[in-house]
Amino acid sequence: MSTENRPPENLWVDKMSIDKATQVMLDNQEKSIWAIQKALPQINIVISKIYEKLKNNSKSRLIFAGAGSSARIGVQDAVELYPTFGWPKNRVGFMIAGGKEAITTSVEGAEDNIFDPHDIADEINLSSNDILIALAASGNTPFTRECLIQSNLKNSLSIAISNNKEGLILKEANHCIVLDTGYEIIAGSTRLKAATAQKICLNILSSMIMTKLGFVKNGLMTHFIPSNQKLKKRKIEVLKQIKKI
């Protein structure tokens, strides 16, 4: 698979000076932007599909599924929806290989477990109201694939995001996004540009969905939660600016 391929010998960072190696790593990270650019048509379709479902169903939730780095990126994007846009916490859910413990530590064998998704789906009451966004760099993670299978059994709207165009999860989803980032500069370490591309993709997806739902006006976050003094002042300024326009 492309995300597991070894970099060419002239790009082995362990053979380089720090200055050269960091430049090579940065250049390699730029490919995440190219992958997003190529996937924009797919991303735009997914934004429209999710927006329509959330707009027309007040019970719809965004459920993020994944293992390892992909799961953590999903969690990061999801938990920021409430403070940034005021999106209700009860309209976000998770299907994470290894459970909450896996957010901060590695849970051995969790990504290969194809039984846990059954229990998690029942536990969170996954249904046709929901939208499942499943991420896997390899596109072949057994846990993540099974989450999509459970999603389809529950008639949820299913989205697969894979950094491998041959990923098996792409066969299980209603809509797919391929972020073809290729090999990593440290072979197999998909916490690098594969993860960067996933983060950018989710940023664009969630931000545009929330914008379409009316949580952004004139480029301003109008529904963010003022949880500290800095944000309380910002909220006042935002409201003043909106009234002026």
The domain spans of the chain are 2-215
Catalytic residue among 9, 52, 80, 184: 80
Average pLDDT, the chain: 94
- Give the closest residue to 80 by CA, choosing from 69, 89, 71, 70: 89
According to DSSP, residue 164 is labeled S
End-to-end CA distance of the chain: 52
Residues 6+ apart with CB under 8 A from 77: 64, 199, 202, 203, 206
Reported as a pLDDT band with limits 50, 70 and 90, residue 244 is: low
pLDDT over 70 at 245, yes or no: no
Q: For the segment 40-75, what is each residue's pLDDT rounded down to a tens digit?
A: 999 999 999 999 999 999 999 999 999 999 999 999
Helix/strand/coil for 178: strand
Q: For the segment 149-175, what is each residue's pLDDT rounded down to a tens digit?
A: 999 999 999 999 999 999 999 999 999
Q: At what angle do helices 18-29 and 193-210 cross, to 10 degrees?
A: 40
CB 47 within 8 A of CB 210: no
pLDDT over 60 at 229, yes or no: yes
Its pTM stands at: 0.93
pLDDT over 80 at 179, yes or no: yes
Asked if CATH classification 3.40.50.10490 holds for the domain at 2-215, the reply, yes or no, is yes
Q: Does the annotation count 52 as an active-site position?
A: no
pLDDT score, position 223: 84
Reported as a pLDDT band with limits 50, 70 and 90, residue 237 is: confident
Q: Does the annotation count 30 as an active-site position?
A: no
According to DSSP, residue 6 is labeled P
Reported as a pLDDT band with limits 50, 70 and 90, residue 1 is: low
pLDDT over 80 at 183, yes or no: yes
HEC string of 57-115? CCCCCEEEEECHHHHHHHHHHHHCHHHHHCCCHHHEEEEECCCHHHHCCCCCCHHHCCC
As a dihedral over the C-alpha atoms of residue 118, residue 203, residue 48, residue 137, rounded to 10 degrees, the angle is -50
Catalytic residue among 9, 111, 146, 172: 111
